[in-house]
Structure 1
C-alpha cells in the first residue's frame, strides 16, 4: 500500500495545490448562482489540465530540466523572471484569500458548538501555523505525505456531501453541454465566473511546480507511463471534487433560489436546507482545502527561486523559512481588516487566465525543439491539442475581460 501510494504522491500534491478555497469558492458560487449549467467548463478545464501536466512532466523526464531552468536557458531569462514575479503576486493574494475564507468558515461553523464562535483571527492564525509547521520540516516527502492525508479528508468530505445534496441527474447531464446561462442577480456574471473556473483549474503554477516534483522524484523517460497515470489521477480527482462542490451548492442553494456572495453564507444558508451534518462535512472539506493549498503556496516562491538559480531545494535555510513566515503573516490580513475574500478570490482566479497563453506557448516551443527533445518531441496530436488550448486560453481571457467590464459597469 505504501509503495503504491508513493506512485501517486506527486499527483496528490498537485491535487492539494489545485483544489483550494479558490476552487471551492468558485465552484460553489457557480453551483449556487447557475446550478449545474457550467459543469462543462470544469470538464474541459480538467482535460486541458491533464494535457498540460503530462506535457510539462514529459519535458522534464526527457531533459532533466525544470520549467524555469528551460525558460531561462532556451527562451530568455526574462521569461523565467516574469513567471516568478507573476506567480509570486498570485501567491500573496492567494494566501490572503485562502486563510480569509478558512477563517470565515471556521468562525461560522464554530458557532454551532461554541457560543459566539471562535474569532476569525484566531482561526486564521491556527491554520496558518499548521501549514508553516509542515513547511518547517523542509522535506518534499513530508510535504507530499501531509498533503495526501489532508487531500483524503477534503475529497471524502466533498464527495460525501455530493450524495447528501445531489441535484437531479438530468441537470448534471445537461451541464455537460456547453452553454452560457443568463446573468443572475449576483455581482459575479457567468463570463467572469467561467474565466475564474478555468483560471483556478488550468493554473500555470501547477505545471511549473509539476516539473519540480518530477525532477525531485528522480523520474526519467522510463517512467513515462507512470507519469501519465499520475497526471490522469490528479485530473480525474480534480473533476470529481470540483463537480461535487458545484453539485452540493446547486442541489441546495440554487434549488432554493439563494445566491452566494460571502464564504460564511455557505454555512448559514446550508444548515436549514441540509442539516447540521452536511454543514459540518462541508466545513471540514473547505478547511482541509485551505490548509492543503496553503502548504504549496508557502513552497512556490522558494522553489521557483531555486529552480531559476539552479540551486538545491533546501527549505531549511533561514532565508526560505523567513520568507515562508512572512507569507504566513499575510493570512491574518483578511480577518484583521474584515475584508471580503470571496470576490477577491474569484477575480484572482480569473487573472490566472492571463498567464495561461504564455505557459502554453512556452511548452509548445520547447516541446518542438528536436535538439532538446530528440525523438520525444511533440507529435502532431500534441501540437494540435496545445494550439487549441492556446486559442481556448485567449478566448477565456477575453471572457474574463468582458465579465470584468460588465461587472464594473454595474
Structure 2
C-alpha cells in the first residue's frame, strides 16, 4: 500500500492519522482508538442538526403529520451526496475544498471568505441566543442576554483550546445525548398516543397543494450548509488521505445522515403527536421554547425538562461545530487568497494554527457585540441571504472539479453522483432565489 505521505503535494498527516493506522493494522491504539475509523460524520451531524431542523420538521408535522417524510429523505440523500463529494475531492487532490474551488473559478475563494465573514458575524449571537432561550425557559431566573454571551464564549473556548481529537469526542457526546433525548420523547409520544393507528397512518406520502415552499424548506433544512463545506477539514484532521480510507469516509458520511434522518424522524413523531390536527403551528426558537409546556402537559414534567435539555444541546452542538467549521473555512480562504502553498497548510488551517484561532476569536467577539446590539434586521437578512448561496456554489464547483479528466477514475463522479449533485445545484439554487427574494422584500 502506498503511503500518501510519500506523494508530493499531499496534505500533512495529522496526529489522528496514527490512531487510524493502528486500528487498520491491528496494533494497539489509544484509548479512543476503537472509534478512530469513524468520527467526522458524527461531528458533522452534531454541527448540522440544529434548532432549524427541529423547527422545520415540527412545522411540517403540524400541518401534515408524517406525510412529508419523503421530502426529508430527499434532503438527506442530496446532503449526503454533497458531503461524500467534498470528502472525495480532498482524497483525490490532497487539497482542501476552498483551495480546489480556485481551480473551478478564481473568484470562488474570495466569495467564500466574504460569505463566511458575514455568517460568522451573526452565527454566535443567533445560536447563543437560541441556546440561552432554552436554558432560561428551563431556569426562568437566568437573564437571557448575559447567558447567551456566556454560552457563545464557552463554545468558542472549546474550539480554541482543544485539538481535533478532543473536539471530536465532545461533538460525538453532544450527538449521542441529543439523539437519545429526542428518541425517548418520540417513544413516549407513541406510547401515550390516543390514536396510535391514526398517528402512524399519517406516514402515507402526500404532496401538499399550493404549499411547495414547505416541501422545499424541509428538503433544504435537513442537515447543514457551512458544515458540509467543512467536512473535508475534519477528514483532513482525522488523517484520511489515501484510497484505502475512501470506503471508510463514505461509511462515515452515511452514518452522519443516518443519524440526522433518525433524529428528524423522532422530532416529526413528537410534532405529529403534539400538533397535528390541533391547528397549532411553530416558528423560530420562541416557538420551540413555547412547545415545552404543552409537551409537559401531555407527557409529564420530566418530558418538559428532557425536551428543553435536548433543545439546548441541539443548539449548543451546532454552535460549537459552527465555530470550528467557520474558522477552518475562513483560515483556508485567507491562505488561498495569499497564495500559501499546500506544503505549508498545516500552520495556516489546522485547528491549533494561529489563523484558525484568530478566526475563533473573531466569531466570539462578534457574538458578544451583536448579542448586545440586538441583531439589527438588515444584518439578519444579509446573513440569511448569504447562507443560502453556499450550497448551490458548492454543488456547481463539485460538478466541475470531480468531472475533470485529470481526476483518478476511482474518485471521479459517476452517473449517480452527477445526477445528485446536479439535482442539488438546481434545488438549492431555487431555494437561494426564494431566500434572496424574501430578504430583498424584507429589506
| Fold in common (TM above 0.5) | yes
2:122 paired with 1:93 = yes
Distance across 2 between alignment mates of 1:375 and 1:339: 47
Contact 1:39 / 1:176 at 8 angstroms: preserved in 2?
A: no
Candidates 135, 139, 146, aligned match of 1:110: 139
> Where does 1:208-227 land on structure 2 (aligned, <5 Å)?
208-219=229-240, 220-227=242-249
Partner of 1:141: 165
Distance across 2 between alignment mates of 1:265 and 1:297: 25
Contact 2:48 / 2:225 at 8 angstroms: preserved in 1?
A: no
2:415 paired with 1:380 = yes
Per-residue CA shift, 1:300-332, capped at 9, x if unaligned?
Answer: 333113323153234445654454234234445
2:201 paired with 1:179 = no
> Where does 1:295-334 land on structure 2 (aligned, <5 Å)?
295-308=320-333, 309=335, 310=342, 311-312=345-346, 313-316=349-352, 320-332=356-368
Distance across 1 between alignment mates of 2:355 and 2:431: 38
Contact 1:37 / 1:181 at 8 angstroms: preserved in 2?
A: no
SS at match of 2:36: helix
Distance across 1 between alignment mates of 2:436 and 2:197: 33
Candidates 30, 39, 43, aligned match of 2:69: 39
Structure 1 residue 355 displacement after superposition: 2.9
Structure 1 residue 156 displacement after superposition: 0.8
Distance across 2 between alignment mates of 1:37 and 1:368: 37
Structure 1 residues 288, 202: closer, same or farther in 2, change over 3 A? closer
> Where does 1:7-406 land on structure 2 (aligned, <5 Å)?
7-72=37-102, 74-111=103-140, 117-166=141-190, 168=196, 171=199, 174-175=202-203, 177-180=205-208, 190-201=211-222, 203-219=224-240, 220-261=242-283, 262=286, 263-308=288-333, 309=335, 310=342, 311-312=345-346, 313-316=349-352, 320-332=356-368, 336=372, 352-397=387-432, 400=435, 404=438
Structure 1 residue 370 displacement after superposition: 1.7
Contact 1:252 / 1:270 at 8 angstroms: preserved in 2?
A: yes
Give TM-score, length-normalised by structure 2: 0.78
Per-residue CA shift, 1:368-394, capped at 9, x if unaligned?
Answer: 112133453212232223223333334
Segments of 5+ residues of structure 2 without an aligned counterpart are 1-30, 336-341
SS at match of 1:264: helix
Structure 1 residue 78 displacement after superposition: 1.0
Distance across 1 between alignment mates of 2:352 and 2:332: 16
Contact 1:195 / 1:397 at 8 angstroms: preserved in 2?
A: no
Contact 1:253 / 1:269 at 8 angstroms: preserved in 2?
A: no
The more displaced of 2-11 and 225-234 is 2-11
Give TM-score, length-normalised by structure 1: 0.84
Q: CA RMSD in A?
A: 3.1
Distance across 2 between alignment mates of 1:315 and 1:61: 19
Contact 2:133 / 2:144 at 8 angstroms: preserved in 1?
A: yes
Distance across 1 between alignment mates of 2:428 and 2:100: 22
Structure 1 residue 170 displacement after superposition: 5.5
Distance across 1 between alignment mates of 2:104 and 2:42: 30
SS at match of 1:373: coil
Structure 1 residue 63 displacement after superposition: 1.6
Structure 1 residues 337, 68: closer, same or farther in 2, change over 3 A? closer
SS at match of 1:118: coil
Per-residue CA shift, 1:260-286, capped at 9, x if unaligned?
Answer: 232431223322233211111111111
Partner of 1:4: 34
Bigger Rg, structure 1 or 2: 2
The more displaced of 220-229 and 313-322 is 313-322
Structure 1 residue 294 displacement after superposition: 1.0
Per-residue CA shift, 1:54-112, capped at 9, x if unaligned?
Answer: 1221121222111111012x12331122122223323433322211111111111114x
Number of equivalenced pairs: 391
Per-residue CA shift, 1:26-58, capped at 9, x if unaligned?
Answer: 323333344334322211111111111112211
Contact 1:252 / 1:274 at 8 angstroms: preserved in 2?
A: no
Segments of 5+ residues of structure 1 without an aligned counterpart are 112-116, 183-189
Distance across 1 between alignment mates of 2:204 and 2:387: 23
Structure 1 residues 303, 358: closer, same or farther in 2, change over 3 A? same
Distance across 2 between alignment mates of 1:333 and 1:269: 35
The more displaced of 153-162 and 20-29 is 20-29
SS at match of 1:377: coil
